[in-house]
Structure formats: C-alpha cells, structure tokens
C-alpha cells in the first residue's frame, strides 16, 4: 500500500514484481538522505537477512507447519511502582531457540520478559513482566501449539504485597515477605493432560550443584519430555553470556553431554531433538 502513494512508474514496477512472485521488504519510514522524513529508507540489513532466512525456511523446513512456543528472559516481580525482583537472564538462549525453530520452518510465538534483545524476524512476540503474566500467556499460547520450549528464568517467589506507592527510605529498611509463584510447567502439564497439547514440552534447569540429580528431579516433577540441564556455576555458560554448556536429559535415554557451544548452536541441537521427539 505504501507504493500506491508513490510515483506511477514505481507503483507499476512494484506491481510487475508482485506479479512475478517477488517478496518485497521495506521501504521503511524515517530520515532520508534528502533530509526529508518519509517512506523510502532501505530496511536494516538485520531485517533483510531475517526476511531471507524466513523465506528459505518456510519452503521446506523440517518443522514447517508446526507451532512452537518459546519463553525467554527473567521475570520481574514488582515490589512497588519503581522496584522489582528479577534475575540475571538476558533472554539470549530463548531468542536463539526462537531463531532455530524459525529456521526449521516452525511458526514461533515468543513469550518474553527480556529487554534489549532484538527478536528474530517472523516470531510473534508476547511481552510479559511477571511470572503470573508469563503463566497466563503460555497457557493460552500452548493450547494450539505442538511444542513448548521453556528457557525463561521464572521467579519462584514474588513479594506478597505490592506497595501502591514508592517505598520511602524514611520508613526504615522494609521487610519484604515473599509468596510462591505458580509453577508454569506444572500448570502446562495439567492442561496438557486434559487437552492433549502441546505434544512436546522441553524445560531447562539452571543449577549450581548436583546438575544431573537436580535436573532429573525437575524432568519428573514437571512432566517434561526433555530437560536441558544448564550448569550456571561457570563464567562462560548460563546467564547473559553468548556461550552455554548443557546436558540433555530424557527419562528413557542416557544423558547427552554437549561441549561448550554458542547459544545458537545449543539451540539448533535442542530443536534437532524436538524434531525427533515429534516424529
Ligand atoms: O537468558 P540467558 O541469559 O541466555 O540465560 C539462559 C538461562 C540460563 C536462563 C537458560 O539457559 C536456563 O537455564 N533457563 C531456566 C532457568 C530457570 O529458571 O531454571 P529453574 O531450574 O529455576 O527452572 C526449571 C524450569 O521450570 C525452567 O524451564 C523454568 O522456566 C521453569 N519454571 C520455573 C519456575 C516457575 N515458577 N515456573 C516454571 O515453569
């Protein structure tokens, strides 16, 4: 529609390209070289690459036609209107999973509490803040999904009372009582038993000790098909960095210990296992 407002020659050329099946990206609105602010800017290279990637994967990816919900980021639990409790999750691992699922041809919904990370082109992003908001969004999104990849670092507790006003220091150091948040994966398990979807659920376990025992416990307690055991005690793996070191655990198979890898490569490994689980 942008082109309808353009010079007739441009509009005609665009119509010809459309007829030939070309996919058009942009132009974007913004500052032009002429100094005007208008439609005419080239789309950013990251967007162009994202669109090309999406187009290639849509054609014959192994997960074409599948719907995948991915969660990413650390939830934020309000203390008062200006303060919250959170954790060190950047969202990088979850966003890498979303990209890997898109690359495999899946339709991706990214339920995200991450800030400052660019979502991959083609993902439908649902922005959330708290664990409760994430729970609501995930339970709704997985109703018609094939897979849930739960990479978010969800706060186990939130302040029992949220102060409606900014807490003043003159009142002295406050005592903040905490109350448990819902366990999203356990809620998904219950819904899945009643409704049948999603077919495959993958959880993560961020651990600083007894990695396999703790992750194995979560695999069972949360009704998962696969858990990604993430040793977050080393500086080059886990929260915020670009690399990760994980072990993939299933109830009916030997643990698969993966070496230190980029988060994109870890994501591709996980999406590869998901393809096998769906098959
Ligand atoms: O975001 P990055 O900076 O890239 O870091 C990636 C990561 C370290 C956050 C990621 O790889 C990871 O390990 N994510 C899981 C973190 C976590 O919260 O682990 P957990 O062991 O506390 O929880 C186990 C599983 O239960 C997780 O899938 C979690 O999403 C889920 N959970 C946790 C609490 C809760 N109330 N509801 C849940 O569903």
The predicted model scores a pTM of: 0.93
pLDDT score at 10? 86
pLDDT score at 5? 61
From the list 87, 230, 244, 264, the catalytic residue is: 87
Are the C-beta atoms of residues 236 and 266 closer than 8 Å to each other? no
The minimum-distance atom of ligand 1 relative to the CA of 88 is 3
216 lines ligand 1 (CB under 6 A): no
First to last CA, the chain: 41
The distance of Cα 246 from the centroid of its chain, to the nearest Å, equals 18
Q: Work out the widest C-alpha separation in the chain, in whole angstroms.
A: 71
The minimum-distance atom of ligand 1 relative to the CA of 244 is 11
131 lines ligand 1 (CB under 6 A): yes
In the structure encoding, which two tokens stand for residue 28, read together?
């974007």
Work out the percent of the chain whose per-residue pLDDT is above 90.
89
Rounded to an integer, what distance in angstroms lies between the CA atom of residue 185 and that of residue 109?
17
In the structure encoding, which two tokens stand for residue 18, read together?
């459309």
In the structure encoding, which two tokens stand for residue 86, read together?
């959170």
The distance of Cα 10 from the centroid of its chain, to the nearest Å, equals 38
pLDDT score at 39? 86
Convert the chain into a string of H (helix), E (strand) and C (coil): CHHHHCCHHHHHHHHHHHHCCCCCCCCEEEECCCCCEEEEECCCHHHHHHHHHHHHHHHHCCCCCCEEEEEECECCEEEECCEEECCCCCCHHHHHHHHHHHHCCCEEEEEECCCCCCCCCCCEEEECCCHHHHHHHHHHHHHHCCEEEECCECCCEEECCCCCCCCCHHHCCCCCCEEECCCHHHHHHHHHHHHCCCCEEEEEEEECCCHHHHHHHHHHHCCCCEEEEEECCCCCCCCCCCEECEEEECCCCCCEECCCEEHHHHHHHHHHHHHHHHC
The distance of Cα 268 from the centroid of its chain, to the nearest Å, equals 14
pLDDT score at 4? 55
18 is catalytic: no
Sole residue written with tokens 């939130």: 158
Low-confidence ranges of the chain (pLDDT < 70): 1-5
Centre of ligand 1 to C-alpha 22, Å, is: 41
Sole residue written with tokens 């036609």: 65
pLDDT score at 2? 58
222-248 per-position pLDDT tens digit: 999 999 999 999 999 999 999 999 999
The minimum-distance atom of ligand 1 relative to the CA of 207 is 21
Crossing angle of helices 263-278 and 92-103, in 10° steps, is 50
Q: Strand pairing of 157-159 and 178-180?
A: antiparallel
pLDDT score at 70? 98
pLDDT score at 59? 74
Angle at 243 (CA atoms; ends 241, 244), nearest 5 degrees: 105
Among protein residues, the one with the nearest Cα to ligand 1's atom 35 is: 183
């Amino acid at each position: 529609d942008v082109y309808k407002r353009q010079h007739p020659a441009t509009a005609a050329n665009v119509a010809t390209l459309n007829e030939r099946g070309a996919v058009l990206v942009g132009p974007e609105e913004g500052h032009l070289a002429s100094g005007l602010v208008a439609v005419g800017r080239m789309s950013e290279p990251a967007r162009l690459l994202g669109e090309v990637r999406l187009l290639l994967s849509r054609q014959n990816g192994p997960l074409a036609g599948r719907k995948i919900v991915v969660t990413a980021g650390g939830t934020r639990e309000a203390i008062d209107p200006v303060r919250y409790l959170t954790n060190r999750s950047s969202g990088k691992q979850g966003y890498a999973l979303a990209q890997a699922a898109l690359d495999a041809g899946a339709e991706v919904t990214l339920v995200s509490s991450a800030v400052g990370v660019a979502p991959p082109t083609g993902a439908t992003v649902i922005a959330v803040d708290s664990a409760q908001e994430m729970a609501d969004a995930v339970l709704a999104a997985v109703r018609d999904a094939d897979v849930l990849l739960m990479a978010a670092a969800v706060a186990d507790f939130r302040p029992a009372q949220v102060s409606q006003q900014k807490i003043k220091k003159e009142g002295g150091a406050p005592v903040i009582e905490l109350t448990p948040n819902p366990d999203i994966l356990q809620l998904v398990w219950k819904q899945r038993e009643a409704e049948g979807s999603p077919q495959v659920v993958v959880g993560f376990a961020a651990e600083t000790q007894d990695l396999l025992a703790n992750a194995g416990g979560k695999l069972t307690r949360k009704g998962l098909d696969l858990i990604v055991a993430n040793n977050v005690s080393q500086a080059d793996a886990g929260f915020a960095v670009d690399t990760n070191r994980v072990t993939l655990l299933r109830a009916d198979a030997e643990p698969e210990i993966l070496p230190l890898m980029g988060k994109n490569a870890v994501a591709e490994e996980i999406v590869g296992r998901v393809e096998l689980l769906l098959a």
